[in-house]
Structure 1
């Protein structure tokens, strides 16, 4: 135990840089380690947050699983939902929906929109629309034959709408006697709430209306276009969708929430590893600085090493002496880098709330939750320590293999 404590004391004396050089270069090496680790923590947190935010924005708006009928609407909704329950059980929540592509018209402005009709009694069990309301309330009541609707905030901003304002939704329909002619169906709606759906495309196209109002706009009577399902866990969506597709068969079409952005989610998984490897180069560069620092330390302390060996210090003691120097730089640099990275993540989250630093038109999402995962932090910390440890081996071995006579020859 005494020799270990003595080794730590000698290590500390060397790192303080009694002769000047090691203290300065060790500080630069540690600074590089801090920047590399902090950059990696921030990058991983942003990627993880992007993935989580994207998943929430999809699941909150479309549910976990969507079941529809190819090329036709579904007539008997009750028997259809009972059929689904016999396949996957009665523990899940379901709500029917109608989707209509139309045009919003107001004061000479036009914009293509998607009107989704939802059943007020069951929609809250499946979709999390109420928590995404930033103005107004979830009110789809019909007053004076004008239904209330919720609009994405992009539409509200584009058409300069206020709560209580009325607007028209136009659905073009071809004339049955002349395919070149159209007879539009027009319905007036009233704005009762503004939604922040988390995605640029949703916020600029999405209108939520009552199921009956959407059915009247589409002229499909009491039929619906599909059913949305909510499951206890997000990961259950794919196997449940596969089972429904197998048991229901044609003409029913089953999709889970990952199908809506499958390529994007796959890209995020690859980008996570690519970012980790690319930014790890900064840590490797800092580790080379640590290695060169230890090499110079060995060269400067040939005489000191020789004296230690002369009084009985073993090769393993000398090896441990220099390895400890590199590991101290790695541990302190990694720890400070983690703290700096966490602080930067907090600053990034704060900046998002104050300024629009991520254009939604480019990044799809209107904002990103910065998510620091424990596994990512451990991976970054372990990788930085491993890289730093490996960088100390060569100079430490050089010092350990020094013969005492070489260091004392010119003393």
Structure 2
């Protein structure tokens, strides 16, 4: 009695009868709830697997690179035929671009201050990027050189988390952090000295303060901003400003806003790697499509079972109508049955699906990064919003599926049923 005292008086008859139908249904009730639970489990499992893999791939590509890179724009040559101030039409048979030259951002303090005021920007870092050679004795090896403040650089392209030995934050002007592959090629370790020669011909002898590995082939070398400016002879200027954003997929909007505020070129990572962004979109679309078909399939199964239940209870429906039960009451009884099945099955499926995802996240595999702990064999992501979405979607789909047999039951003619 206590269970029904919270039910409105006008609904107590229908609720009692719906509960009795379900408790006496036995295996049929369990089967129907199992169909709902299976649909929820499939949705949670697929979304966790697909979005977990998506997050891992995105992190692998974008964690170690800036989301937006600001640099001096390369001017494109304009053909003579397009010059509007010429007295006579002229044309060029050959258009030659200017040879690549390093262009510096002299007012980088102002640029950084402007960029940091833009919404969605997490970090703006002045830096030096260029090419050079690393050597110990003979046999120089080509490397990319990054000069920036170590503490801020760690927030744009993390180095400390990938360190195998040594340190990066607190780097001195005569120290350098190198990649594991470069350390192998030069047969050096922390504490050894190597020579870095920039593409400008300037040379610095630096002590190795740390060795890192991202497991993605040979990486660059990291020095302080002052050392980078000295190597590439830029004075107090920089040649790039590196930007990290909060919302990864809002990089295009940030890049466009930067170009509108400062006279420099801003390139977002998503425009640099359009095929990768397209593959991420396809993965998300696949997850939604498969989840949708799973819901539809489970809805048909639920509707079929409930229709059979209506046919089995046709005599009881006839008796109920003969003693005064209205069409609305009959329809309400079977709709409530569907609602109870939906809620119980959905929450059971959510618990089992979350447990399944947690269990498959436990197996580990060796990582490709030397000196790092093993990684998940199945990269999964338990996202509460998708678990809640799966439960709500399953409940809605089940109630809709239950409405049709409920309507069929309400339209039954008691005279025909009793015959």
- Shorter-normalised TM-score: what interval? 0.7 to 0.9
The answer to whether the Cα contact below 8 Å between 1:149 and 1:191 also exists between their aligned partners in 2 is yes
The answer to whether the Cα contact below 8 Å between 1:150 and 1:209 also exists between their aligned partners in 2 is no
Which of 321, 336, 346 is equivalent to 1:334?
346
Structure 1 position 305 matched with structure 2 position 308: no
Q: What's the counterpart of residue 97 of structure 1? A: 127
CA distance in 2 between counterparts of 1:76 and 1:292 reads: 69
The answer to whether the Cα contact below 8 Å between 2:104 and 2:234 also exists between their aligned partners in 1 is no
Which of 376, 383, 406 is equivalent to 2:416?
406
SS at match of 1:245: helix
Which of 93, 98, 113 is equivalent to 1:85?
113
Structure 1 position 10 matched with structure 2 position 20: no
CA distance in 2 between counterparts of 1:241 and 1:391 reads: 48
Task: For residue 222 of structure 1, report the CA deviation from its aligned partner.
Answer: 6.7
Unpaired runs of at least 5, structure 2? 1-7, 75-99, 370-374
Task: For residue 131 of structure 1, report the CA deviation from its aligned partner.
Answer: 4.4
Unpaired runs of at least 5, structure 1? 175-182, 361-365
Task: For residue 268 of structure 1, report the CA deviation from its aligned partner.
Answer: 2.5
The answer to whether the Cα contact below 8 Å between 2:191 and 2:208 also exists between their aligned partners in 1 is yes
Task: For residue 136 of structure 1, report the CA deviation from its aligned partner.
Answer: 3.4
Which of 182, 188, 210 is equivalent to 1:192?
210
CA distance in 2 between counterparts of 1:88 and 1:96 reads: 12
RMSD of aligned Cα (Å): 4.4
How far does the alpha carbon of each residue in 1:15-70 deviate from its partner, in whole angstroms, 9 at most, with x for none?
Answer: 234xxxx4323323322322221221233234444555556556653344311123
Q: What's the counterpart of residue 92 of structure 2? A: none
CA distance in 2 between counterparts of 1:76 and 1:291 reads: 67
TM-score, normalised via structure 1 length = 0.73
Task: For residue 215 of structure 1, report the CA deviation from its aligned partner.
Answer: 5.9
Q: Which moved more, 1:48-57 or 1:280-289?
A: 48-57
Which of 360, 377, 391 is equivalent to 1:381?
391
Q: What's the counterpart of residue 356 of structure 2? A: 344
CA distance in 2 between counterparts of 1:390 and 1:90 reads: 46
CA distance in 1 between counterparts of 2:211 and 2:28 reads: 60
Task: For residue 111 of structure 1, report the CA deviation from its aligned partner.
Answer: 8.7
The answer to whether the Cα contact below 8 Å between 1:287 and 1:388 also exists between their aligned partners in 2 is yes
Structure 1 position 275 matched with structure 2 position 287: yes
Q: Which moved more, 1:89-98 or 1:258-267?
A: 89-98
Task: For residue 301 of structure 1, report the CA deviation from its aligned partner.
Answer: 1.5
Task: For residue 304 of structure 1, report the CA deviation from its aligned partner.
Answer: 0.9
> Structure 1's 166 and 33: CA in aligned 2 closer, same or farther, altered over 3 A?
farther
**Structure showing the higher helix proportion among its residues:** 1
Which of 63, 66, 69 is equivalent to 1:66?
69
Q: Which moved more, 1:221-230 or 1:24-33?
A: 221-230
Task: For residue 224 of structure 1, report the CA deviation from its aligned partner.
Answer: 3.9
CA distance in 2 between counterparts of 1:191 and 1:88 reads: 31
The answer to whether the Cα contact below 8 Å between 1:75 and 1:222 also exists between their aligned partners in 2 is no
